[in-house]
Structure formats: C-alpha cells, structure tokens
Amino acid sequence: NKKTVTSEISIGKEAYKGKKAAIAAALQQDVGDDDTNLEENVLGQEVEDDGVLLSPYPRSRLKRWQRAPSVIPQGESPGEMGKAVNIPIEQEKLMLDKFQENQFNLLASDMISLNRSLTDVRFEKCKDKQYPELMPTTSVVIVFHNEAWSTLIRTIWSTINRSPKALLKEIILVDDASEKEHLGKKLEDYIKTLPVSTRLFRTEKRSGLIRARLLGAKHVLGDVITFLDAHCECTEGWLEPLLARIVEDRATVVCPIIDVISDTTFEYIQASDMTWGGFNWKLNFRWYRVPEREMSRRGGDRTAPLRTPTMAGGLFAIDKEYFYKIGSYDEGMDIWGGENLEMSFRVWMCGGTLEIAPCSHVGHVFRKTTPYSFPGGTGRVVNHNNARLAEVWLDEWKHFYYNINPGALNVPVGDVSERKALRERLKCKSFRWYLENIYPESQMPLEYYYLGEIRNAETSNCLDTLGGKAGQPLGMGYCHGMGGNQVFAYTKRKQVMSDDNCLDAAHPRGPIKLIRCHGMRGNQEWIYDTKTRTIKHTNTGMCLDKPDASDVWKPVLRACDKSRGQQWLMQVDFKW
Ligand code: LR7
Ligand code: MN
C-alpha cells in the first residue's frame, strides 16, 4: 500500500531532523586541522539502516578550510580572464585540421595557459556568503576517452588552484582505453609533479563513461565524490557551495551552474541561472526556463539552491556513501548517455534532492558533435541506455519514449531486474509522484487521454510533425503506424502535443504551427469531441480540417461544419 510507505518516509525525515540538530550543536566545537587516520574511520560505521537517510558526518571527518587565493592573470597570455583566443588568419587551415580530432579548437586551447585566469562570474551576494567552517573532503573524479592534453590538464589545474586545499582530498583520473600517446607514460609522469595527490586508473577495455566513473568511485578516499568532465574549468569559489549543501543533508546531489567554454574560441561565457534541467519524450536532456513556482519557493533569491528535475550529468557532487546507497550507476549502460536522467529520477523518486547551486560555476567545453567512436553505433548505444532507464523508472510514461522513438524497441535492453529490485528495496516513489511533485511542468504530461496517431476520417492520412522543429507548420502524411513523427498526445490540459511542442494557432485562418508547449492554454487549447470527432480550437472557435487541394499536406482551420474532413480519429494508440 503506497500510503503507508509515504508516511514511513516522512516519519524517518522527522527523526533525522532531530538528529541533525544535535550534530549541528556538536559541530560548534573546534577541531584541529590535522589530517590523520581518516581513511580508517569508515563512514559506514555511523550509518543506521533507515532507508536512504544517512546520519550527518561525524565531526572528526570534517575539515576546517580556507578559500583558495585568486588566480592572477598572466600578462597578455592568450585567453587570460576567460577571453576568446583568435587564431591568426595564416593558421586557419591548421586550426580547422586540429578541430576534427576533438571537435573543439585544439589550437586555441593549446595556446592558453594551463592555469589561466578567469573572471569571477558569481553574483555579488555569492562572494561573501558564509559557508560552514567545517566541511567534508572531496575527491574529484575525471574520466576521459582520448581527451586532448591541454583541456585535461587545465581541468586538473583549475581544480587544484580554485579548491580550498583542505577540502580537496585528491584527484582521480580514469582513462577509458584512450589511444593517445600523451595519455600514456607522459600523463603518469606529469601527475607525479602535481601538488595534490592524483591517481590514474585505466579501464582494461573501452567501458564507456558510466563504468569508468564506477571504477574511479571505487578508489575515492574523500567523503564526497565530485565528478567532472575532462574539459572543464572550475572558477573561484566553485566547490564550497556544493559541499555546503551536502554537509547539510547528505542525500543531496548538487550541480554547479555549467558555463560555456566556447568550442571555437575557448572564451568563458556565463550561462543563465534561470534554466534548469528537463527532458523531452526522446529522453534527451534539455535546459528549460525555471518556472515562477521555483523562483518563489526560493523567495526570489537567485543565489539560493535551485531544485532541478534533472541534471546534465557531467558535473556534480554527491556524498560517497549516498552514491552507493542510492544505487551508484546502472552498470548495464554503455559508452555515453542516459545515466544522467537515470540518476536524476532515482534521486528524486527515492527520497533525495537534486539541486543546482547558483554560486558554483564551472565551465565546460560544449561540442556540436562527438569526436569519438561509439562501439555498436551511436543510436544503438543511446537507445539501449535510455530504454533501460525507461523500463526501470518511467512506469507507463515509457510509452512516450517508445512511441516517439520506436527504434528503441529493436535494441535489446538486457537484464534490468537488479535495477528494478533496487527501486523496490529503496521503496522509491512512482514516476507519477515525480511528475506531480517534482516536475509538473514536464513535457511528459501527467494526465492525458490519448497517445498515438491522429487520423483524418476522410483522407485517412495522419497528422505528422514531419520532424520539424519548434515554429514549423504542422503537416500530414500517409499513416505509417510506426509512431515517431505521427505520435501525438491529447492531454487533460487540452493540448495536442508532440514531444515538447504543441499545436498552436494564432489566427482563425491558420497556420497551425508546432510551438514549444507553454501549458497556459491560450492558442494551444483544443477541444476534442469524442462524439463529433472534431478538434476545435478554443480561441478561434474554428475546427481542424483536412488540407486544401492547393497544399495537400497542410491541415488547416475552417469554420466547423461537421464535414468528414473535420473528423479525426484517436483510436489506434500504439502502447507497445
Ligand atoms: O566512452 C566514453 N568514455 C569516457 O570516458 C565516452 C566518454 N567518456 C568521457 C569523456 O571523455 C568526457 O570526459 O565522458 C565524459 C563525457 O563525455 P563528453 O564530454 O563527450 O559528452 P557530453 O559533454 O555531451 O556529456 C554529457 O552527457 C553525458 C551523458 O552520458 C554525461 O552525463 C556527461 O558527463 C555530460 N556532460 C555534462 O553534463 C557537461 C555539460 C553538458 C551538458 C548539457
Ligand atoms: Mn563534456
């Protein structure tokens, strides 16, 4: 019975709050700055078996820390203060050649100092925020496959230079079967010269980033694991806001704001603090605007932690013990993709919290295409990973994924029984709960009447997005019964949706476009009458009609006249 489970969990949380207060009082006491014997002091000893809840860190494990000094710009060296690097015209050919290998401007990256300065992009209020005097240590885990030298080493140096010394336990590198010379002996020698303990592990064969991270995590000695991609730059004060949230509640997973390092100029570009993580029907991670509701929950304070429905996946901090307790990663996932949504749903549904700390900024080189191979094929790998997460976490909403992306049905998902058992064991809530409580703005509608094709009674053709992007007109095609571009949902909010777009009409004579769903009715409200089978547009009072002879693949709006061309069948729903 679901009700019982819920109340058990909330009772657990109350008890936890009491415990937390007691420990907080104990934390007021002073501890020295010594670093002894911590490895032996296994965290597991303090843990009670109360679901995913963890007792607070014992004081002895926490560290007194000081801010890292600012990185001073090095004269006129290229890229200092995060500036763009411009390549002289005579080197353009070389630049383009070098771009291919990593899908970013390697020539520019190589010109920039390995510890270049950056501007402080934080809100003023972030700069003098008070963080706890005592915080847990972290190991920074960086996995890579064929990463370029300068981006990898700059990731490492930016971590070392901008993390409070006492809190950075070590750096753990995991080489996922790279084939580049510079990642061999040269890297092994280089890391010996670093002022922070840095260890390198190698996967035996290409494992993908998910299993590579699991390998790295196994060796972590710090209390918190902080994952970074291998082409990042940490900015001033990036670490404190992450650890501060975790010391408050160890079941919190915290991401920085991920700023953009330009793939063409390596300019450091500040990202918006007004976006959070979502996902579409295809289970692609997407940034969406933070809704008003979350802004007001934070009292309008843009420096307060932002609860995000999902995370991008590459950059986050998590308590080490919590990482395992909550199920680390799905080892059945290959190469790249899906693990970030999988972890996001899991954390929320199983009692944790996923946040973005807006005072923490880390830059990441965003690429337009991937530079490396996907053994098995990109589509296959990503479909496999996403199907696994759909099977385990999405409940009936998995049909949105399979319907819009039927290719995933042809890829074996493998054995997911262990992951399902994990969900049971942790007494995780349903995906419905997640949509209701964490992500009501989701592009997967909480309440819907129908998911499938929409067929015209006269022409027997089907509505079709034609694969168009937001802003494109709605089309039609021969019904193929294969889902994809012919899958629509008719929702309780009276939207006709395809993925994150909705049928939208601004004028009585059309056109009918696919526009990003706003959930506010307006031009996106349609009433389907199951008796007359008409789809009536509320604002204009017009009916959706079959196309004109002049443009046979463009459905139109016309005055409602009960003609057969205005009848639409929502019957064949392919819930595979
Ligand atoms: O087989 C592989 N083995 C690896 O070790 C493939 C990749 N990797 C490494 C790779 O070298 C890199 O360090 O894994 C890391 C991520 O791969 P990227 O940088 O090629 O991909 P990405 O930046 O698009 O990855 C985003 O999505 C991934 C989905 O699996 C992971 O969650 C990445 O961590 C994530 N990156 C970020 O969240 C940074 C912000 C991007 C956004 C949005
Ligand atoms: Mn990346």
**DSSP category for residue 134:** E
* Best residue for ligand 1 mutational test, from 153, 209, 210 (most atoms within 8 Å of Cβ): 209
Ligand lying nearest the CA atom of residue 340: 1
Instruction: Tell me whether residue 21 is in a domain.
Output: no
Question: Ligand 1 center to residue 198 CA distance, Å?
Answer: 21
Q: Is 147 near ligand 1, meaning CB less than 6 Å away?
A: yes
Best residue for ligand 1 mutational test, from 229, 360, 372, 389 (most atoms within 8 Å of Cβ): 229
* Residue 26 scores a pLDDT above 60: no
Q: Would you state the pLDDT for residue 48?
A: 40
Q: How far is the CA of 559 from the centre of ligand 2 (A)?
A: 51
Per-residue pLDDT tens over the stretch 341-386: 999 999 999 999 999 999 999 999 999 999 999 999 999 999 999 9
| Mean pLDDT across 458-478 | 95
Same domain, residue pair 103 and 229? yes
pLDDT given for residue 52 in this prediction: 59
Query: Torsions phi, psi of 498, nearest 5?
Result: -135, 115
Residues 452 and 360 in one domain: no
Boundary of a domain, candidates 315, 339, 365 = 365
Please tell me the predicted confidence (pLDDT) of residue 351.
96
Residue 560 above 50 pLDDT? yes
298 pLDDT above the threshold of 50? yes
Residue range 140-169, pLDDT digits in tens: 999 999 999 999 999 999 999 999 999 999
- Could you tell me if 121 and 226 lie in one domain? yes
Say what the pLDDT of residue 268 is: 98
SS3 60: helix
**292 and 192 both lie in a single domain:** yes
Whether residues 359 and 453 fall in one domain: no
Report CA-CA distances (Å) from 275 to 35, 311, 369, 426, 479: 39, 11, 23, 30, 37
Write down which residue in 346, 365, 384 finishes a domain. Answer: 365
Banded model confidence at residue 572, pLDDT cuts 50, 70, 90: low
Buried b (16+ CB within 10 A) or exposed e, 81-97: ebbebebeeeeeeebee
CA nearest ligand 1 atom 15, residue: 229
The CB of 312 under 6 Å from ligand 1? The reply is yes
Of 254, 328, 325, 321, nearest in space to 41 by CA: 321
Rounded average pLDDT over 20-35: 36
Please indicate, yes or no, if residue 66 is contained in any of the structural domains. no
pLDDT of 34 over the 90 cut: no
Using pLDDT thresholds of 50, 70 and 90, give the confidence band for residue 11.
very low
Domain boundary among 315, 331, 365: 365
464 in ligand 1 pocket by Cβ < 6 Å? no
Statement to judge: residues 332 and 473 lie in one domain: no
The bridge status of strand 252-261 relative to strand 353-365 is parallel
* Alpha-carbon separation of residue 523 from 71, 307, 540 (angstroms): 52, 30, 8
Mean model confidence pLDDT for the chain: 91
Q: At what angle do helices 185-192 and 149-162 cross, to 10 degrees?
A: 20
pLDDT-derived band at 18 (thresholds 50, 70, 90) equals very low
**What's the pLDDT at 571?**
75
458 located within any domain: yes
Q: Which residues constitute the domain of residue 205? A: 97-365
Which residue did the predictor score with more confidence, 7 or 185?
185
- 183 is a domain residue: yes
Number of domains the chain contains: 2
Instruction: Read off the pLDDT of each residue in 531-535 and give the average, rounded to a whole number.
Output: 95
What is the mean predicted confidence (pLDDT) over 77-102?
96
Q: What's CA 412's distance to the chain center, in Å? A: 24
Helix/strand/coil percent split, the chain, to 5 = 35, 20, 45
Residue minimizing CA distance to atom 33 of ligand 1: 314
Say whether pLDDT at 256 is over 70. yes
Q: What is the mean pLDDT of residues 163-184?
A: 98
DSSP 385-446: HHHHHHHHH-GGGHHHHHHH-GGGGGS-----HHHHHHHHHTT---HHHIIIII-TT-SS-S
Report the CATH number at residue 157.
3.90.550.10
Calculate mean pLDDT across residues 16-34: 36
Asked whether residue 139 falls in the same domain as residue 262, the answer is: yes
- Shared domain check, 257 and 138: yes
Q: Which amino acid is at 475?
A: G
- Domain membership flag for residue 108: yes
**At residue 549, does pLDDT exceed 80?**
yes
In a domain, 333, yes or no: yes
For residue 452, give the CATH number of its domain. Answer: 2.80.10.50
Helix (H) or strand (E) holding 9: helix 2-27
Q: Are residues 159 and 265 in the same domain?
A: yes
- Whether the predicted pLDDT of 250 surpasses 80: yes
40 is written with which tokens?
Answer: 């032996």
**Residue 104 located in a structural domain:** yes
Nearest atom in ligand 1 to the alpha carbon of residue 174 is 5
Quick one: 289 and 172 in the same domain? Answer: yes
Is the pLDDT confidence value at 294 over 70? yes
The backbone torsions φ and ψ at residue 356, rounded to the nearest 5 degrees and listed phi first, read -110, 130
Q: Which two tokens stand for residue 183?
A: 């990642």
455 shares its domain with 361:
no
User: How far, in Å, is the centroid of ligand 1 from the Cα of 336?
Assistant: 7
Q: pLDDT at position 22, please?
A: 37
Q: 10 Å Cβ neighbour count for 304?
A: 16
Q: What is the mean pLDDT of residues 456-460?
A: 96
Question: Which ligand neighbours the alpha carbon of 382 most closely?
Answer: 1
pLDDT at 251 over 90: yes
Residue 360 and residue 485 in one domain = no
Q: Specify the pLDDT at position 47.
A: 37
What pLDDT does residue 576 have?
A: 52
The share of the chain scoring above pLDDT 70, in percent, equals 90
**Is 78 within a domain?**
no
DSSP code of residue 523: G
Q: Which residue has the higher pLDDT, 16 or 566?
A: 566
